[in-house]
Copies of this chain bind each other. A is one copy, B any other.
């Protein structure tokens, strides 16, 4: 192992950022280390252009990253904006897993010996370099996930970096709970009995990160960095439709590891051809001790039930709910929900699917509103928000893949259409697939429809007998189907209390009366937990102690002194 001169400096260089994060995860107040505005005033005049050029330069080329055991190349991405990407990556096949996993493990001993502070410094330096490439990453996220540029910059860049930093901060705090050395002195007749003890943080083995199509960086980075900083090697397996953002990520990880004198194969990229089914054999390998997965419930549950040799962290599907009981600001309620349903065409795991509204309507600052008027109010706000096509596409982005379009096309049959989905022509990308949200009114008895996730720009206005039934259906659907988010609108303290209780019992985070610039589908790193690990939608959260504590073990030695 060569000791690079810089690597001890990295922790010092990024100490303030780390300390800010450590303070924030304790206070859970506002904190952000990476500016979310892509403005030239923040990032410099040429940053946007340079980043776009860097992205463009990848198109039609072989990405220069090496993967041990790979065989040939593969190119699987399709931009939701319709532009050809044609980036080729090393193809990992089942036959190459022996070589890949052996290579991944090779550097672990040195990585452990580097020690906690070195590993923290290296991962913080990786974040810093990813930040320097944030415009390139944003373009890559945009053209794989379909997110509009600003959202891709924020959710896929700045906020993802914040979530990664949060995971590193939790991991650092967790590893720091144990002293490296201790003297144990037990009183005894005559001389005390004295032992000197050492405590070493040791990674579990190879960590596997399975990325998703919609948030390739935001959902992969917390697990990736939590595993890496705690001493594990990480194999990153991107979704075949969203490889580039993770290829850049792995590239930067390898570059920094190598500079610090560590084996770059501590982080590797395992790209498969669509349909290769590489995730299953990889996940069951005995070398794999940690798995982070974002994606559908079926495969997430399969991992939880079958990859029992590993710690498995999953974020799956859910049926997010908002209960509408009453409000003192009907217009703001409608506008707030309109934004939530429209952002990224509802393709967030946190987008509200079910809006529970009493059949008798609700009391508002504008007087009583019937069930239909509530629906019309939200529909109207969506209409206004998306009235101008050029502005609408910057909020909606593109539809991530054809399965979403199919679901959307089927959904009007489920009930009475309150707001039709319409196709929008993107002014810049003529082949982009852009759709506005569909809102369908549905009866409470139709639980087989709204009780399952209908991922994409489809939401249901569920007609309930009254708020008590709304609460009951909220409990039932979240308990059985899970949820990443929940919201309530009510001016009645007793109703709020009941819903809070229900949310605690079914284990979902609750947003109350959001009427301003905060939305139920958004969570702020360092303050809001993303997911809870307490309902079927996810078995873990970004980020708490449980998310990091089992990624390493503490091994001791002791001797007399």
Contacts and interface: CB of A to CB of B under 8 A. Distances in A.
Nearest to A305: B308
Given A518-B193, A545-B545, A549-B545, A557 B185 contact: no
Interface string A155-187: 000000000000000000110011100111111
Chain A at the B interface: SS class: mixed
A216 to B, nearest CB: 26
Contact of A513 (B112, B524, B559): B559
Interface string A538-561: 000100111001100111111110
B527 A553 contact: no
Contacts of A515: 560
A274 interface: no
A553 B554 CA distance: 23
A200 interface: yes
A29 B184 contact: yes
Contacts of A469: none
Interface residues of A, number: 68
B109 A528 contact: no
Contacts of A184: 28-30, 524, 527
Contacts of A186: 30, 524
Contact of A182 (B27, B195, B202, B504): B27
A109 B500 CA distance: 13
A254 B195 CA distance: 39
Contacts of A504: 112, 200, 202, 555
Contact of A558 (B178, B528, B550): B528
A28 B304 contact: no
A207 to B, nearest CB: 15
Nearest to A301: B308
Contacts of A505: 109
Interface of A: 25-30, 109, 112, 173-174, 177-179, 182-188, 193, 195, 197, 199-200, 202, 204, 304-305, 308, 500-501, 503-505, 507-518, 524, 527-529, 532-534, 541, 544-546, 549-550, 553-560
